[in-house]
Amino acid sequence: MDNLLYNETELMLAKTVQDFAQDYLAPMAPILDEREEFPMENFHRLASMGLLGITIDEKYGGSGGGFKEFSIVTEEIAKACGATSAIYGSHIGLVLQSIARFGNEEQKSRFLPPLIDGTSVGAWGLTEPESGSDVASMSTTSTSGDGLYRLNGTKHFITNGDVADTFVIYATQNRELKSKGVNCLVVDRNTPGFQTIKQDGKLGMKASSTAELIFEDCPVPEENRLGEENTGFYSAMQILESSRIAIAAQSVGIGQACLEAATNYAVSRKTFNNPIASYQAIQWMLADMATEIDAARLLTRRASILKDMKEPHNKEASMAKLFASESANRAATKAVQILGGYGYFKSSHVERYFRDAKITEIYEGTSEIHRMIISRSIINQANNN
Ligand SMILES: Cc1cc2nc3c(=O)[nH]c(=O)nc-3n(C[C@H](O)[C@H](O)[C@H](O)COP(=O)(O)OP(=O)(O)OC[C@H]3O[C@@H](n4cnc5c(N)ncnc54)[C@H](O)[C@@H]3O)c2cc1C
């Protein structure tokens, strides 16, 4: 961590989380990856350190702070265990943030404390089998009547889905209204007509659970709706806009892990009687990795500062997520290359980083969608000048 970029308190936070993550999360990461097992123990440890309450007001049990702190913590967790950072990012960036930003006082007091003290895991369901990037075409319906919404439909690829207790779900009242007909509802796992099915077989982030959510005439009380009726699409877009700053931080963490593994290997591995770090081909790969990771961290920092200042950050968050995720993937490819044949095996760790990195280019907006957001912003600005 850079003294120029971070203040004393932030450096202390980074050091505390780094020590915990390297001592506790990193040794377990390959084992959990192999077992594809949700690390409930990790989740509870994060809760006991107060890290699940970051970005949330103390009056709901949170530890305060903003996206600057959230990004610092996410980077350190991701450097040690990508899957735990995916679980952590969804829980805070998507679920807690949805409730904290769009819930009323009663909803915040009811839903936030168990999500912060670790008794409840959160999952956020937007994506459906027929609607991913094109969110407004969702087909899960919420039909209102008798003080209830009845949910029908299927969500898929939902992080934390098979272990979560508290779900933030988006459903349409009227498909023809597209983005203008969506509700955002908090759904309890034990609601009748609701079941989850684990989706195994992912490329990476294997210890993070991913699940399909199935709703069949599932009754959700009206008092569980976050925000006004039919405003769910806009709240989802606002949540994603800031949450992707955490995906950028996650990418920086994975990239940094790749750089450190590759550097350590390069100085110790000898070929033709010389450490491979003495060859320019290897040096240039390390230089490119280090430069891109630093640049990604700076973009992430800028986006988190803007978010914490309540300034517009749509373009900046997309730039950070796009560049950091693609940099992490380039760093992972180079790390495997630098470790040669060893890099192709699980025991090298970079094999896992390589697999974990890929999802950062896909979830919370694919790279193609972020290029659309960034270019649209630039073009709109030019048209308005
Ligand atoms: C491990 C994992 C965890 C996830 N966790 C969650 C979660 O917790 N909650 C949740 O709601 N969702 C989650 N998702 C879903 C994720 O956000 C979506 O997969 C992602 O948004 C892409 O949607 P899609 O898969 O339907 O792809 P599609 O939208 O079908 O896109 C397919 C391809 O077409 C491209 N494309 C689409 N539209 C355009 C366009 N207009 N111009 C150019 N190219 C385009 C895309 O970039 C992509 O390359 C998760 C996914 C995975 C794999």
Domain segments of the chain: what residues? 8-120, 123-230, 233-380
Query: In the prediction, which pLDDT does 1 show?
Result: 63
Dihedral of CA atoms 15, 21, 22, 27 in degrees, nearest 10, equals: 170
222, 241, 364, 368: the active-site residue:
364
Whether residue 5 has pLDDT greater than 90: no
Separation of CA 132 and ligand 1 centre (Å): 5
Q: Which atom of ligand 1 sits closest to the CA of residue 126?
A: 11
How many Å lie between the centroid of ligand 1 and the Cα of residue 238? 17
> Does this chain's domain 8-120 share its CATH topology with 233-380?
no
* 157 within ligand 1 shell (Cβ under 6 A): yes
Q: Is 364 a catalytic residue?
A: yes
CA-368 nearest atom, ligand 1? 47
**Contact, 55 vs 100, CB < 8 A?**
yes
CATH number belonging to domain 233-380: 1.20.140.10
CATH architecture of the domain covering 8-120 = Orthogonal Bundle (1.10)
Do 40 and 163 contact (CB within 8 A), yes or no? yes
The ligand 1 atom nearest the CA atom of 362: 20
Say which DSSP state 174 is in. Answer: -
Task: Name every residue whose Cβ is closer than 8 Å to that of residue 105 and which is 6 or more positions away in sequence.
Answer: none
Handedness of CA 305, 309, 311, 313 (dihedral sign): positive
Pairing mode of beta strands 270-271, 274-275: antiparallel
pLDDT tens sequence across 276-293? 999 999 999 999 999 999
Beta pairing class for 141-145 and 148-159: antiparallel
Mean pLDDT, the chain, whole residue set: 97
Nearest CA to ligand 1 atom 6: 158
Rounded to the nearest angstrom, the distance between the alpha carbon of 212 and the centre of ligand 1 is: 15
Report whether pLDDT(365) > 90.
yes
Q: How many CB atoms lie within 10 A of CB 34?
A: 12
Ligand 1 centre to CA of 152 (Å) is: 21
Our answer on whether the CB atom of 202 is closer than 6 Å to any ligand 1 atom is: yes
CA-nearest residue for atom 43, ligand 1, is 368
Q: Report the nearest-CA residue for atom 51 of ligand 1.
A: 157
For 66-75, the pLDDT digits (tens) are 999 999 999 9
Q: What gap in Å lies between CA 169 and CA 232, rounded to an integer?
A: 9
To 10 degrees, the CA torsion angle through 333, 330, 267, 280? 110
pLDDT-based confidence at residue 129 (cuts at 50, 70, 90)? very high
User: What sections of the chain are H helices per DSSP?
Assistant: 8-20, 26-35, 40-48, 67-80, 82-89, 97-102, 105-116, 232-268, 280-308, 314-338, 350-358, 367-384
How deeply is 271 buried, as exposed, middle or buried, from its count of CB atoms within 10 A (0-12, 13-18, 19+)? Answer: exposed
- Please report where in the chains the tokens 């202390």 appear, as a residue: 12
The CATH number, out of the four listed (1.10.10.10, 2.40.110.10, 3.50.50.60, 3.20.20.10), of the domain defined by the range 123-230: 2.40.110.10
pTM value is 0.97
Strands 148-159 and 166-172: unpaired
